Amino acid sequence: MAVGSLTTHLEDSTSILLVAPPSDPADDRACTDLLTFDDPERENVLSVTLSQTPADRLALWRQEGGGAMPNRAVIVDGSGPSTEAERATVVEAIPDLSVEVLSDAAGPMELALIVGQYLGEWDDTAERTVACIHSLSALLDSFARGEVVQFVNALDARLESAGAVVHYHLDPGAHDDSTLSEIRPLFDAVVEHVPDDGWTVTKSAADSPQFRGESSALYPERSGTERPSVDRPLDDVFELLANERRRRTLYALAQTDVLSVSIDRLADEVVERERAGGAVSGPLHNREVTIALAHNHLPRLADAGLVAYDHESGAVTKREFGDGFAAFVRYVDRIDRP
């Protein structure tokens, strides 16, 4: 199958595994093809790179993409140290491009949170979102298989709810047959390059991939470190954390030792956090935050069972803020600070 015809066979697929050696030019061409289901100017492109620099990924787009740039673009860089000059060069090439640098301590769940943040920001845009994870092999080499499976499941659920399409690169030469056979059922389509025959597409026979929704119970952790359970579906957690102001609300609630706080005090804490992030503060800002909490974020948190909000008294009471969820939110708070 020719590369250019891949998208015609994958129009109804949202999670695609691209299996090819990373050194094969066919892998690069297929990647660009899967990022251009539509006219790039009508797409939002999110590129996660763990094994190449942002400049490498931009060069590939220019080489294979025909010169058209996406409407919005974000590169999440986990490839290693990048200088400010290198990042500035990449951003200069596309005015609307952002480069998000992963910390050295970031794991798969932190990566999923960052991706979810951008998906939240793009939810109301008319353009289609397409995403590339380069590569799943890098994640499997660095983290326990269970963590990677949770990452794929959580991210795919969030992308699917946003109407987005994602493809993951996998180097078949980097993994044994057992790993490949266990990873393939996570996706609703597998696109594999066979040197003599070109590309083959295998689609899930069921309505959804066989193991979508499974967690580390399928692939037990290889680490001996015990972590408290978050006690709620991870895709729901990512949805709650996708909005920046709602994240800061959760950070403030997770840090407080009291069961109930007033909405005014909670708004003051959110304003302080926004000011630390560079927001211009003042009476109007405080009022805006209070209104947003009362009419948007607190009702969402109440629907999730995390708080109860009394409109008459203005009291915000924590509910199902389990130890695991609170610890997770406090950890995300640390990596999210400016």
The per-residue pLDDT for range 110-165, each reduced to its tens digit, is 888 888 888 888 888 888 899 999 999 999 999 888 888 888 888 888 888 788 99
State mean pLDDT over 213-233: 44
Please, where are the H alpha helices in the chain?
Answer: 6-9, 25-34, 54-64, 84-93, 108-122, 136-142, 145-161, 177-183, 234-241, 244-255, 263-276, 283-292, 298-303, 323-336
Asked which of 47-56, 89-98, 204-213, 275-284 is least confident by mean pLDDT, the reply is: 204-213
Strand bridging mode 72-77 / 97-101 = parallel
Amino acid of residue 270? V
Mean per-residue pLDDT of the chain: 80
> How many whole angstroms separate alpha carbon 54 and alpha carbon 62?
12
Tokens 């409407």 found at: 71
Asked if 271 and 285 count as a contact pair (C-beta separation under 8 A), the reply is yes
pLDDT of residue 89: 66
Q: DSSP class of residue 102?
A: P
Phi, psi of 62 (to 5 degrees): -65, -35
Judge if pTM exceeds 0.75. Answer: no
pLDDT of residue 172: 92
> How many whole angstroms separate alpha carbon 63 and alpha carbon 230?
43
Within 8 A by CB and 6+ apart from 253, the residues are 261, 266, 306, 307, 316, 318, 321, 329
* Gap between the terminal Cα atoms of the chain: 47
pLDDT of residue 86: 63
pLDDT of residue 93: 61
pLDDT category of residue 226 using cuts at 50, 70 and 90: very low
pLDDT of residue 8: 76
SS3 247: helix
Quick check: 220 pLDDT over 50? no
Domains of the chain: 3-203 (3.40.50.300), 243-336 (1.10.10)
> How many whole angstroms separate alpha carbon 158 and alpha carbon 155?
5
Q: Which two tokens stand for residue 261?
A: 């706080």
Q: Which two tokens stand for residue 148?
A: 């990677």
pLDDT of residue 80: 74
pLDDT category of residue 315 using cuts at 50, 70 and 90: very high
Give the residue from 43, 95, 111, 99 showing the smallest Cα distance to 74.
99
Q: What is the CA radius of gyration of the chain?
A: 21
Asked if 46 and 132 count as a contact pair (C-beta separation under 8 A), the reply is yes
State mean pLDDT over 88-95: 63
Most confident segment among 3-7, 82-86, 273-277? 273-277
pLDDT category of residue 215 using cuts at 50, 70 and 90: very low
Asked which of 7-21, 23-37, 205-219, 268-282 is least confident by mean pLDDT, the reply is: 205-219
Residue percentage of the chain with pLDDT more than 70: 83
Asked if 191 and 19 count as a contact pair (C-beta separation under 8 A), the reply is yes
Work out the burial of residue 43: count CB atoms within 10 Å of its CB; fewer than 13 is exposed, 13-18 middle, 19 or more buried. buried
| 49 half-sphere exposure, CB direction, 13 A CA radius | 23
pLDDT category of residue 94 using cuts at 50, 70 and 90: low
